[in-house]
Amino acid sequence: MEIQTKEIVNFIKELVHIPSPSGDTAAAIKYMKDFFEENKISYVMTNKGAIIATIKGEDDSKHRLLTAHVDTLGAMVKEIKSDGRLKLDQIGGYYWNTIEGEYCNIHTSNGKSYSGTVLMHQTAAHVYKGMNDLKRDEKNMEVRVDQPFRSKKDAEEAGISVGDFVSFTPRFEETESGFIKSRHLDDKASVAILMYLIKEIQQLSLALPYTTHFLISNNEEIGYGGNSNIPEATVEYLAVDMGAIGDGQSTDEFTVSICAKDSGGPYHFGLRKHLTALAEKHNIEFKVDIYPYYGSDATAAIRAGADVAHGLIGPGIDASHAYERTHVSSLKNTTALIKEYLLSPLV
């Protein structure tokens, strides 16, 4: 059955428009819960707020686990300034300049949401000389809330308080040339791929050789999304997350990236060779790469002591942790490799 990338893109579009900065992912997890119920997939919720779906395989003595995460970068209100603007504290690892001028939403604890824009305090060119030389950091960046606030009291009376979550507007766009541009492709593009494959498995009644778990984690951006709740019978653990693009990297926006090593050290060599052999056998375009400043849920699991063969693959994502972009061909190649992996023998 040919891979329908349009359906994957539709899943991505729906996912990126659900605000889910790490720590405030309930809406995205509910979306996944509804998806699993609609497709009659059994699942369990974890105490950390993640969700694990399971499809029984022909062999139930040894299990596989695949994970992708719905949590994203974001921020939290650190301080309400005297003029009603907001100072932020970061959630996840990104540079302040990558969100300068970005639209955002402040999510209050009483359920209200207010739009705003992340700006330098000294943005007005007609007022502040040399603002271009100022550092983009937590001291100079602020949120201009789209409300007639004139004071800290105004913001507080509207329900805004320290600790409120702030999400960044995705600005999703699909181009005629096949590119997908959006914030939060890390890692909602991978979640969409798993959704597509799960739906296909159910619709076609595909028999998986091993019982397989799909962990949708919710704390990956802060380092511990998928290191617990791993079923005891799991022997292989595959993280599906973005491939990072830049100078010196082999990853691109058109192939599936297979990671050999990240900040946590080498991935399981046998599993990596198995993945590259599958790609070569089935004419799936791939690149092998190393990410020195990257850590996946699989890395977190190994560091927590999980006794599994661990791997990492994913679509190539340009401008990671900023305004990201990928191409439908990368989505297609990643989907094809995961499908072949799901149907293949254990390492």
What whole-number distance in Å separates Cα of residue 293 and Cα of residue 105? 29
Identify which of 280, 170, 200, 289 has the alpha carbon closest to the alpha carbon of residue 5: 200
Question: One-letter amino acid identity for 329?
Answer: S
What whole-number distance in Å separates Cα of residue 266 and Cα of residue 85? 45
Strand ranges inside 152-308, DSSP E: 165-168, 173-174, 179-182, 210-217, 234-240, 243-244, 256-262, 265-266, 286-291
What whole-number distance in Å separates Cα of residue 204 and Cα of residue 115? 43
Annotation says 220 is catalytic: yes
Question: One-letter amino acid identity for 88?
Answer: L
What whole-number distance in Å separates Cα of residue 191 and Cα of residue 339? 14
What whole-number distance in Å separates Cα of residue 271 and Cα of residue 237? 9
Pick the catalytic residue from 142, 220, 221, 324. Answer: 220
Residues carrying an active site annotation: 220
